[in-house]
Chains A and B, each alone.
Chain A
Amino acid sequence: KQEVTQIPAALSVPEGENLVLNCSFTDSAIYNLQWFRQDPGKGLTSLLLIQSSQREQTSGRLNASLDKSSGRSTLYIAASQPGDSATYLCAGGGPTGTASKLTFGTGTRLQVTL
């Protein structure tokens, strides 16, 4: 059974700093690895999806990488801003019938301070 771990559970950085969030998974037979952002009391917003055949994806100041052999993914945020403060979750997608069934980590709560 897939298990997804995110360490640390919380992180505080000053504005402008570049940072890396970590995600590890136990089963390398994943279809994709997705990163989400969740603001307090809200649903999740999809940030990036990396297919199992890819090594990274980029969107603006965000870059996500995937290393299946080591069971790790990272989310790199460049030049962090206070508006980046949120909880970031990663999820590994595995095959179940015709739908992709995601296993989620418990998230890293990021605070970017002025």
Chain B
Amino acid sequence: DVKVTQSSRYLVKRTGEKVFLECVQDMDHENMFWYRQDPGLGLRLIYFSYDVKMKEKGDIPEGYSVSREKKERFSLILESASTNQTSMYLCASSGWDSYNSPLHFGNGTRLTVT
């Protein structure tokens, strides 16, 4: 079974702090994604990566950056955390075949910015 592991289930950070969210997958997947999930808004794509060192902006990239130095690891960085970034963050991965490869999610990181 595919396993996507997010390093923290809960995080509390202060406004202005730099925050790192880590995600590791064990299935050699090419594609990795970061979503945030908010009540009433659903899941929104922040960034995705289709290869090492490759990244593309999703729908809401402002205030975020990402890093993918190794195939199995995809990090989301909040450069200067703000209260409106309080959310559930979900990492996901999928294989190279976009037609047939389902998305596999981690258990999420609930981030609170105070």
| A interface residues with partner B (beta carbon < 8 Å) | 31-32, 34, 36, 41-46, 49, 51-52, 89, 91, 93, 95-102, 104-107
Contacts and interface: CB of A to CB of B under 8 A. Distances in A.
Nearest to A107: B42
A105 B42 CA distance: 6
Contacts, number: 78
Interface of B: 4, 30-31, 33, 35, 40-43, 45, 48, 50-51, 56, 58, 90, 92, 94, 96, 98-108, 110
A41 B51 CA distance: 29
B34 to A, nearest CB: 12
A106 B108 contact: no
Interface of A is mostly: strand
A31 B108 contact: no
Given A41-B110, A49-B102, A97-B50, 7 more contacts: A42-B108, A43-B108, A44-B90, A46-B104, A89-B42, A106-B40, A106-B42
